[in-house]
Amino acid sequence: MTFTAQQIADFLKGEIIGNPHTEVDNFAKIEEGKPRTITFLSNPKYTHYIYETKADIVLVNNTFTADKPISATLIKVPDAYAALASLLEMVNNATPKKTGIQEMAFVSSSAKLADDVYVGPFAYIGEKAQIAENTRIYPQAYIGDNVKIGKNVLIYSGVKIYHNCVIGDNCILHAGVVIGADGFGFSQQEGVYHKIQQIGNVILENNVEVGANTTIDRAVLGSTIIREGVKLDNLIQIAHNCEVGRHTVMAAQVGVAGSTKIEEHCVLGGQVGIGGHITIGSKSKIGAQSGIISNTPENSEIMGSPAYPVKNFFKSSVIIPKLPDIYRQINALEKELNQLKQQLSKE
Amino acid sequence: MTFTAQQIADFLKGEIIGNPHTEVDNFAKIEEGKPRTITFLSNPKYTHYIYETKADIVLVNNTFTADKPISATLIKVPDAYAALASLLEMVNNATPKKTGIQEMAFVSSSAKLADDVYVGPFAYIGEKAQIAENTRIYPQAYIGDNVKIGKNVLIYSGVKIYHNCVIGDNCILHAGVVIGADGFGFSQQEGVYHKIQQIGNVILENNVEVGANTTIDRAVLGSTIIREGVKLDNLIQIAHNCEVGRHTVMAAQVGVAGSTKIEEHCVLGGQVGIGGHITIGSKSKIGAQSGIISNTPENSEIMGSPAYPVKNFFKSSVIIPKLPDIYRQINALEKELNQLKQQLSKE
Amino acid sequence: MTFTAQQIADFLKGEIIGNPHTEVDNFAKIEEGKPRTITFLSNPKYTHYIYETKADIVLVNNTFTADKPISATLIKVPDAYAALASLLEMVNNATPKKTGIQEMAFVSSSAKLADDVYVGPFAYIGEKAQIAENTRIYPQAYIGDNVKIGKNVLIYSGVKIYHNCVIGDNCILHAGVVIGADGFGFSQQEGVYHKIQQIGNVILENNVEVGANTTIDRAVLGSTIIREGVKLDNLIQIAHNCEVGRHTVMAAQVGVAGSTKIEEHCVLGGQVGIGGHITIGSKSKIGAQSGIISNTPENSEIMGSPAYPVKNFFKSSVIIPKLPDIYRQINALEKELNQLKQQLSKE
């Protein structure tokens, strides 16, 4: 698709500095700009690239003023990064979508699919599954019996959704995601573990995105719940009976143990581990690799394993490499003090 | 399925307090009890819910005595949680199982399948694979050449088992599990890594459960072995030539490096990392996020990275946030001591 | 396949000590040697096994001299482990390879496959995909639209490669690998996260191996790049717009956040976490479970979270369990010093 600076400026309600007839047909990063691409300048650190980029159009913030001549046509907008996001979204929406049930798909006769659903080859739709309009099930995905999927959902290749789980509208599940596998529940008798059947399910509310190979286990009874707008990165583990609050985000490889509640608007760094049966208060920020083993109040900003306030974390981290020196220092002090006391007692 | 309190009490050999004709047809957690559900009270923390639950039947321990009137019918048993587990198991066993080889499955002509095996659509069974009675292979699973699978095994959708691996009786492999991918073995020459072919296999003994997206690598020579009754949670990595002892359990996201032996009845917390070529003694308990880099004796209870006795771990963890204060304190002491010495030398 | 000691010695250009007609048809570890197997002795720790092994042939280093009689035939070579690797490679090359496009595979009419490509049942090849000679696509793999795959590539069962990604020659992708899922990119407005479309791709250069269930995200713009000869173990996360330098290796469960560059010839231990937008200098070695949050110079040898020089790490790790004692010690010293000062001020 080819667009002119004028068309883009009209769409973004931006102001053109330069030639309104400049044409582009692709995006680029500013440091990798090529002819016929559009790029953007948002981070001030990258400002010097605007004078040398070969991109033909650059989106800039209204506040930008050039120090030197720029060969590209500029489009001034209130927020260049948000404007880029809208353009990407527009292009994505214009891309033709796959539709229809492909020949080599398996759809149970009791499943109910809205008319414009896509089901790719080798996808499996179980008994009594329900799939709403405009949802796309990519090749080799598995939708278990009685699963209910909302509208405008994207289920990428190889996603596995066990029986009875529920997926809300506008969700995106990336390749390899597993929803509803059994929770890790056993009763132990004389050192031998006996399985507790896990008969609950998983519920994803609307607008949830789940990264590649992330796993969310079904509840033993009731539901594991991922609330509206939650975004989970890749390779995350959410155990049985957890609840993740609205608009909480987690970076890759986080693990959350069973029956824990993470309230809304939290931000968890990569590789964080959260213990079982606790509550993380809303709007908490937890640093990468932290370990949390007890309830935390809302607005906590913590880090470490076990975690403590993030400001202290970085201060203590500076001291830890000095511990051998400190240890020597304290022992030297003790010795000196003893010598002094001995000396004084002799006097 | 509908059951009466009488039928349930007979099955559990329990005692009814209330109406033996009370009917239920589903399970619920005590705080989410609804009419026609059965629930249980095991954890004393939840006792207050029994006076307000809307569940119609509650399993309670023999030792339970009510302080106030309870609307639900009670069934007294020696262990309410174990009784729940038996009921769940009974219901699970009563659920009809899928059987037969589906039309869109691929089964090599040289594979040998017992008569009552289920093979779902798009599952692949390689050459000379052997699958024993009552085993179910879900859609899109991959069973490589010469793989041998015991009886009553559950292989969920999208499990991948490479050639020559062996799976014992009653094992459960959740979606996305990979058994027998190549171990991470390379010989390095002048900074370039050359692959060492991994020609061993993986053996899972009986009653092993493996969580979603967990990976167990094949041995370079010989076998990576997971012994009887081991339970592995999701997203765990077991490297080549490891051995995991009988009835050991690991929480999610644990990683075990190559040629390490974990003896029987160990318990590993989430995100633990175990180094290569070491032995973890039997009955050891390792706290979440720990890192183990050397042999540990049996009955170790350790935590930290690197790990040390768990009691000390929590004591030291309390001190770490105070390190900046301690550092100031020790420097102040040193200064004072020097002043004192100077003062004394002048006297 | 059966080989004589003479044939093996000729292939390896080694020297036979014993019967050149000794026959073997399998490999074994030295401690598990059986008749008709060949094994090797490389690690001196295992030397005592050579006098009792039941293997019929043992590869040994030229420098090996026996203290006692050995029943096996020996083959002396410059490097016994490298010799084993060559033998394993030879056997692997001699194993018949699957070829041809299987009946139950899906290949888009616009895809271009070289003549001798293998495509297993239930594999999906998208529109305009290109696959070069001698590459094997195992059952249930997914190759998205416009994906380009080089020659001699192994794509194991259940690998998912999203549209527009590029895979170089001689790469190996193990089961469950996901290449090109969306990067974790959102713009946040009033606590709600809006997706930024990720329109870049992933490029794997030649000779890259990727372990089971590892995920490599596509770039928002441009490419996430894995350079020649990189080896990634299982369950690793590489975020969008990262670049991993030539011949760098990472152990299992490492996570690398977005836009980070790891230069060439680095070695990362298991479960390491690398923050976003930083550079790890070439030839750096990073200990297991480390957390890196800032640029590191080349040849860094670091460990810890946050990481510091590895030598100091182990010294500080010895002190950490002593912190409660140190804390008591310092408070006792302070008290004594105060008493002493008080005593002196009275004198």
- DSSP assignments along C132-174, one per residue: -TT-EE-TT-EE-TT-EE-SS-EE-TT-EE-TT-EE-TT-EE-
- What dihedral angle (degrees, nearest 10) is formed by the CA atoms of B40, B43, B49, B50? 50
**Core vs surface per residue A236-273: b (16+ CB within 10 A) or e:** bbbbbbbbbbbbbbbbbbbbbbbbbbbbbbbbbbbbbb
Tell me if C251 sits within 8 A of C268, measured CB to CB.
yes
- Test A270 with C257 for CB contact under 8 angstroms: yes
Residue-wise pLDDT tens digits, C321-342: 999 999 999 999 999 999 988 8
Q: What is the distance in angstroms between the Cα of A218 and the nearest Cα belonging to chain B?
A: 12
Range among A40-49, A250-259, C22-31 with highest mean pLDDT value? A250-259
Average pLDDT in the B186-196 region? 93
The shortest C-alpha distance from A324 to chain C (Å) reads 6
Percentage of chain A exceeding pLDDT 70? 100
Q: Give residue-wise pLDDT tens across range B270-299.
A: 999 999 999 999 999 999 999 999 999 999
Q: Which of A97, A157, A172, A334 to mutate to test the interface with C (most CBs of C within 10 A)?
A: A157
Contacts of B317 (CB under 8 A, 6+ apart): A306
- Residues near B98 by Cβ (< 8 Å), separated by ≥ 6? B118, B120, B136
pLDDT for A341 equals 86
Q: CA angle at residue C56 from C55 to C60, to 5 degrees?
A: 80
pLDDT in tens, C147-158: 999 999 999 999
Average pLDDT on A90-110 reads 92
Cβ-contact C265, A249 below 8 angstroms: no
Counting residues of chain B whose pLDDT is more than 90, the rounded percentage is 92
Rounded-to-10 torsion of CA B331, B333, B335, B340? -170
pLDDT at B347 over 80: no
* Residue-level pLDDT at C17: 96
The reported pLDDT for the residue numbered A1 is 77
Q: Residue C311: closest CA among chain A residues belongs to which residue?
A: A321
CB within 8 Å: C271 and B257: no
Nearest CA in chain C to B195: C85
The 10s digit of each residue's pLDDT in A75-86 is: 999 999 999 999
**Residues of A with Cβ-Cβ distance to B335 under 8 angstroms:** none
pLDDT band at A95 (very low <50, low <70, confident <90, very high): confident
Residues C121 and C101: their CA atoms lie apart, in Å, by 8
CA dist A248 and A254 (Å) reads 13
CB-based contact A255 B247, cutoff 8 Å = no
**pLDDT band at residue B346, thresholds of 50, 70 and 90?**
confident
List all chains that touch chain C, counting a touch as 3 or more CB pairs closer than 8 Å: A, B
- Tell me the average pLDDT across C240-259: 98
Q: Identify all chain A residues contacting B270, using CB atoms and an 8 Å cutoff.
A: 237, 255, 257, 273
Percent over 70 (pLDDT), chain C:
100
pLDDT for A185 equals 95
Q: Does any CB of chain A come closer than 8 Å to the CB of residue B249?
A: yes
Smallest CA–CA distance, residue B68 to chain A, in Å, is: 26
> What's the pLDDT at B113?
98
Query: Within 13 Å and on the Cβ side, how many CA atoms surround B67?
Result: 6
**Tokens coding A322:** 């000095």
Pick from C40, C207, C289 the residue to mutate for testing the B interface (most B CBs within 10 Å): C289
Q: What is the mean pLDDT of residues A296-321?
A: 97
B139: pLDDT strictly greater than 90: yes
Report the distance separating Cα C33 and Cα C345, nearest Å.
80
pLDDT at A96: 87
Please say whether the beta carbons of B161 and B144 come within 8 A.
yes
Instruction: Give CA–CA dist A91/A73, Å, rounded.
Output: 20
C172, B178: Cβ pair inside 8 Å? no
pLDDT band at C305 (very low <50, low <70, confident <90, very high): very high
Are A28 and C275 an interchain contact pair (Cβ–Cβ within 8 Å)? no
Closest CB to C213 among B144, B197, B215: B215
* Neighboring chain A residues of B89 at a CB cutoff of 8 Å: 195, 197
Surface of C (317-346) touching A: CB under 8 A: 318-320, 322, 326, 329-330, 333, 336-337, 340, 343-344
Contact between chains at B181 and C327 (C-beta distance less than 8 A): no
Q: Which residue of C has its CA nearest to B126?
A: C139
pLDDT value of residue C206: 98
Task: Tell whether the model's pLDDT for residue B219 goes beyond 70.
Answer: yes
Distance from CA of B332 to the nearest CA of A (A): 11
Would you tell me which residues 20-59 of chain B have a C-beta closer than 8 angstroms to some C-beta of chain A? 27-29, 32, 39
Q: Which of B323, B329, B345 to mutate to test the interface with A (most CBs of A within 10 A)?
A: B323
Closest CA to B213 of A143, A209, A238: A238
Chain A residue with CA closest to C121: the answer is: A122
Query: Is the pLDDT assigned to residue A295 strictly greater than 70?
Result: yes
- Position C347 confidence tier, pLDDT thresholds 50, 70, 90: low
Look at residue C84 in the predicted model and tell me its pLDDT. Answer: 93
Q: Indicate yes or no: CB of C140 within 8 angstroms of CB of B162.
A: no
Distance, in angstroms, between B262 CA and closest chain C CA? Answer: 18
Of A21, A174, A194, A240, which is the active-site residue?
A240
Give dist(CA B186, CA B178) in Å, integer: 21
- Residue B223, pLDDT score: 97
Q: Which of B209, B237, B212 is nearest to B224 (CA)?
A: B237
Separation CA A214–CA C182 (nearest Å): 13
State the Cα–Cα distance between residues B270 and C87, nearest whole angstrom: 39
Q: Give the model's pLDDT for residue B344.
A: 82
Q: Name chain A's partners: 3 or more CB pairs within 8 A.
A: B, C
* Mean pLDDT of chain C, nearest integer: 96
Q: How far apart are CA C208 and CA C169, in angstroms?
A: 8
Enter the ipTM. Answer: 0.95
- Of these residues, B21, B174, B240, B277, which one is catalytic? B240
Which residues of C are known catalytic residues? 240
Q: Are the beta carbons of B222 and C29 separated by less than 8 Å?
A: yes
| CB-CB under 8 Å, C158 with A172 | no
Report the range of poorest mean pLDDT among A337-341, B313-317, C342-346.
C342-346
Chain C residues whose CB is inside 8 A of the A92 CB are: 197, 199
Cα angle C219, C223, C227 (rounded to 5 degrees) comes to 125
Q: Give the chain A residue nearest B208 (alpha carbons).
A: A193
**Residues of chain B neighbouring A336 (CB-CB closer than 8 A):** 337, 341
Residue B6 CB coordination number (10 Å): 15
Contact call for A222 and B247, based on CB within 8 A: no
- Position B236 scores a pLDDT of 98
Query: What CA–CA distance (Å, rounded) separates A20 from A73?
Result: 8
- Judged by CB atoms closer than 8 Å, whether chains meet at B257 and C247 is answered as no
pLDDT at B30: 93
d(CA B157, CA B137): 8
Taking only residues 76 to 135 of chain C, the set having a beta carbon closer than 8 angstroms to any beta carbon of chain A reads: 104, 106, 122, 124
Please give the model's pTM, rounded to 2 decimal places.
0.96
Q: Do residue A194 and residue B344 have CB atoms under 8 angstroms apart?
A: no
Nearest CB partner across the interface for A319, out of B234, B251, B324 = B324
User: Does A344 sit within 8 Å of C344, measured CB to CB?
Assistant: yes
Which of A234, A252, A321 minimises the CB distance to C316? A321
Read off the tokens for B198: 């991994």
- Cα–Cα distance, C298 to B214 (Å, whole number): 34
Asked if the model's pLDDT at residue B1 lies above 80, the reply is: no
Q: What is the pLDDT of residues B154-179, one digit of tens each?
A: 999 999 999 999 999 999 999 999 99
Calculate mean pLDDT across residues A245-252.
Answer: 98
Given a cut of 90, whether residue A342 has pLDDT beyond it is no
Averaged pLDDT score across all residues of chain B:
96
Quick: pLDDT tens for C73-128. Answer: 999 999 999 999 999 999 888 888 999 999 999 999 999 999 899 999 999 999 99
Residue A55: what pLDDT? Answer: 96
In A, minimum Cα distance to B304 occurs at: A305
Q: Is B158 on the interface with C (CB under 8 A)?
A: yes
CA B87/CA B77 separation, integer angstroms: 12
B78 C-beta neighbours (distance < 10 Å), count: 12
Confidence of residue A340 (pLDDT cuts 50, 70, 90): confident
User: Which of C140, C184, C191 is facing A265, going by the closest CB pair?
Assistant: C191
Contact A175/C182, CB-based, under 8 Å?
Answer: no
**What is the band of A347 on the pLDDT scale with cuts at 50, 70, 90?**
low
Q: Encoding tokens for residue A294?
A: 């007890």
User: What's the distance, Cα to Cα, between the start and end of chain C in Å?
Assistant: 95
Q: What percent of chain B has pLDDT over 70?
A: 100
* Residue A227 to residue A213: CA distance in whole angstroms: 19
Q: With an 8 Å Cβ cutoff, is C243 touching chain B?
A: no
Question: B-C interface: how many C-beta pairs under 8 angstroms?
Answer: 186
Task: Over range A111-127, report the average pLDDT.
Answer: 97
Run of H or E including B267: strand B267-268
The whole-number average pLDDT for the span A140-148 is 98
pLDDT at A267 over 90: yes
Query: What gap in Å lies between CA B233 and CA A256, rounded to an integer?
Result: 12
Model confidence at B91: pLDDT above 90: no
Closest chain C C-alpha to B210 CA, distance in angstroms: 15
Identify which of B194, B271, B322 has the shortest CB distance to residue C85.
B194
- Which residues, numbered 267 to 286 in chain C, qualify as contacts with chain B under a Cβ-Cβ cut-off of 8 Å? 270-271
